[in-house]
């Protein structure tokens, strides 16, 4: 994503890999729609996009009286929050924007100062994401000191973040260190983020990648073709349970059965310290069309009943480590996540 003097440019991820098309967001409504439609997707990316959406909203209403400006901006924040429920980075970024606004109101800052400062904060959120991903990628790469075959699910790459990626960031760094033999990318039904986006990113970077359909993961593991699994996350509870793209849980169970370490890579902004465990994570359910159709082509009777959860929760007991910008967290997750929280509060 690119912020160009008051306009947010998003690469339309629904069109990849066949078409490279950018969406110009000149108002917050376009950003909200882009998040809902998954034109921008991936937990850190939607957090940063929402922060820029907030700035666009502030600019749209700057001609109003301060009281009306504030109430419109509260509405902007609510609308952006209502776009997707699971990735906590969205709420984390909007909390930062709301808190900053509150501080300015206490200080009785001028409208100009408020808008300038909100824009700075959104830029900071985006810049921090790049740095954080580089840091966690380095920690992750230290885990893999000999040439490895990886498997990943969904897309936790540069497209899902501001840059570099989380799970793919670790893979990129490990590849740069000479320790990636091959990456197996699950296609990731229903919306094919693995086939369309992960396969795209890795081929662009010349990292050896083999695309498999989701139901092949077990067989690939059984045939000793995978040494480690690494995925991203949308929300991590205080006990280390991880919500990520639907299908992640199945991959984690398969990895356990085949004695393959299963890692999660995520920035600290993906932790929800307020939730004791993964059962409390809200799981988005999406339109049935996503399952009855593939890329617009109908593959099932339209009247069939469909269940379409966009995410699942992997219990912490299946996770070998959670790679963050502060290092790799391991069991006891409750303790290591509590320590992370304290570090962030300092």
Ligand X SMILES: CSC[C@@H](O)[C@@H](O)C(=O)COP(=O)(O)O
The answer to whether residue 23 forms part of the interface with ligand X (CB under 6 A) is: no
Q: What string marks each residue from 85 to 114 as x (binds ligand X by CB under 6 A) or -? A: --x---------------------------
For residues 252 to 291, the per-residue mask of contacts with ligand X, x marking binding by CB under 6 A and - elsewhere, is ----------------------------------------
Q: For ligand X, which residue of 3, 30, 31, 44 counts as binding (CB under 6 A)?
A: 44
How many Å from the N-terminal Cα to the C-terminal Cα in the chain? 30
Shortest separation between residue 246's beta carbon and ligand X, angstroms: 8
d(CA 250, CA 191): 17
* Parallel, antiparallel or unpaired: strands 228-231 and 262-265: parallel
Asked whether the bond before 302 is cis by omega within 30 degrees of 0, the reply is no
- CA dist list (Å): 26 to 56, 58, 128, 249: 7, 12, 23, 38
* Nearest by Cα to 186 from 156, 154, 158, 161: 154
Q: Which is nearer to ligand X, 234 or 325 (CB)?
A: 234
Supply 91's token pair: 């709420």
Half-sphere exposure of 105 (CA within 13 A, CB side): 13
Per the DSSP assignment, residues forming a β-bridge with 184 are 151, 210
48-232-299 Cα angle (round to 5): 95
Q: How far is CA 73 from the centre of its chain?
A: 25
Which residue's CB comes closest to ligand X? 232
Q: Is 310 in the site for ligand X (CB under 6 A)?
A: yes
State the Cα–Cα distance between residues 281 and 305, nearest whole angstrom: 24
Nearer to ligand X, 115 or 267 (CB): 267
Catalytic pick among 186, 214, 234, 272:
234
Q: In what order do the strands lie in the sheet with 235-237?
A: 271-272, 235-237, 242-245, 311-314
- Cβ distance 202 to 168 under 8 Å? yes
Count interface residues toward ligand X (CB under 6 A).
Answer: 18
With respect to ligand X, which residue has the nearer C-beta, 73 or 337? 337
Check if the beta carbon of residue 22 is closer than 8 Å to that of residue 11: yes
Min. distance of Cβ 106 from ligand X in angstroms?
Answer: 34
The nearer residue to ligand X, 87 or 195, going by C-beta atoms, is 87
Catalytic residue at 234? yes
User: Considering beta carbons, is residue 25 or 38 the nearer one to ligand X?
Assistant: 38
Which residues, 145 to 174, sit near ligand X by CB under 6 A? 154, 156, 160-161, 166
The only residue of 229, 233, 242, 260 in contact with ligand X, by rule CB under 6 A: 233
Q: Which of 194, 232, 240, 278 binds ligand X (CB under 6 A)?
A: 232
Q: Which two tokens stand for residue 318?
A: 């299946």
Q: Which stretch binds ligand X (CB under 6 A): 37-45, 135-143, 217-225, 273-281?
A: 37-45
User: Which 3 state secondary structure label does DSSP give 250?
Assistant: helix
**214 DSSP assignment:** G
Report in angstroms how near the CB of residue 193 gets to ligand X at its nearest. 5
Beta carbon nearer to ligand X, 114 or 198: 198
Report if residue 247 touches ligand X, rule: CB under 6 A: no
Distance CA 96, CA 118 (A): 9
Out of 10, 25, 28, 42, the only residue in the binding site for ligand X (CB under 6 A) is 42
Binding-site residue ranges for substrate? 41-43, 84, 193, 244-245
- Residues known to be catalytic: 234
Q: Which residues are at the interface with ligand X (CB under 6 A)?
A: 38, 41-44, 87, 154, 156, 160-161, 166, 193, 232-234, 244-245, 310
Q: Which residues are annotated as a binding site?
A: 41-43, 84, 193, 244-245
């Amino acid at each position: 994503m690119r912020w160009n003097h008051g306009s947010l440019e998003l690469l339309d991820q629904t069109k990849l890999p066949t078409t490279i098309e950018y969406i110009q967001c000149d108002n917050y409504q376009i950003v909200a729609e882009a998040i809902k439609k998954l034109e921008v997707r991936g937990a850190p990316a939607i957090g940063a996009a929402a922060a820029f959406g907030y700035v666009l909203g502030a600019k749209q209403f700057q001609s109003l009286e301060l009281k009306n400006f504030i109430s419109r901006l509260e509405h902007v924040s609510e609308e952006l929050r209502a776009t997707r429920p699971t990735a906590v980075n969205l709420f984390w970024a909007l909390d930062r924007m709301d808190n900053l606004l509150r501080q300015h109101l206490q200080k009785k800052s001028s409208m100009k100062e408020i808008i300038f400062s909100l824009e700075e904060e959104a830029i900071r959120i985006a810049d921090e994401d790049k740095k954080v991903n580089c840091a966690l990628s380095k920690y992750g790469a230290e885990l893999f000191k000999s040439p490895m075959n990886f498997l990943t699910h969904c897309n936790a790459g540069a497209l899902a973040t501001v840059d570099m990626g989380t799970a793919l960031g670790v893979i990129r760094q490990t590849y740069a260190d000479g320790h990636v033999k091959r990456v197996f990318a699950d296609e990731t039904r229903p919306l094919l983020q693995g086939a369309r986006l992960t396969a795209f990113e890795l081929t662009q970077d010349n990292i050896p990648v083999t695309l498999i359909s989701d139901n092949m993961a077990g067989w690939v593991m059984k045939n000793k073709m995978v040494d480690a699994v690494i995925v991203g996350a949308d929300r991590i509870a205080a006990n280390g349970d991880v919500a990520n793209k639907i299908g992640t849980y199945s991959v984690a169970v398969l990895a356990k059965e085949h004695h393959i370490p299963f890692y999660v890579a995520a920035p600290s902004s993906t932790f929800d310290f307020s939730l004791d465990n993964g059962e409390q994570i809200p799981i988005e359910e999406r339109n049935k069309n996503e399952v009855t159709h593939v890329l617009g082509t109908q593959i099932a009777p339209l009247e069939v009943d469909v269940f379409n959860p966009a995410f699942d929760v992997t219990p912490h007991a299946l996770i070998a480590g959670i790679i963050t910008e502060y290092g790799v967290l391991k069991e006891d997750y409750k303790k290591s996540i509590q320590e992370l929280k304290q570090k962030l509060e300092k």
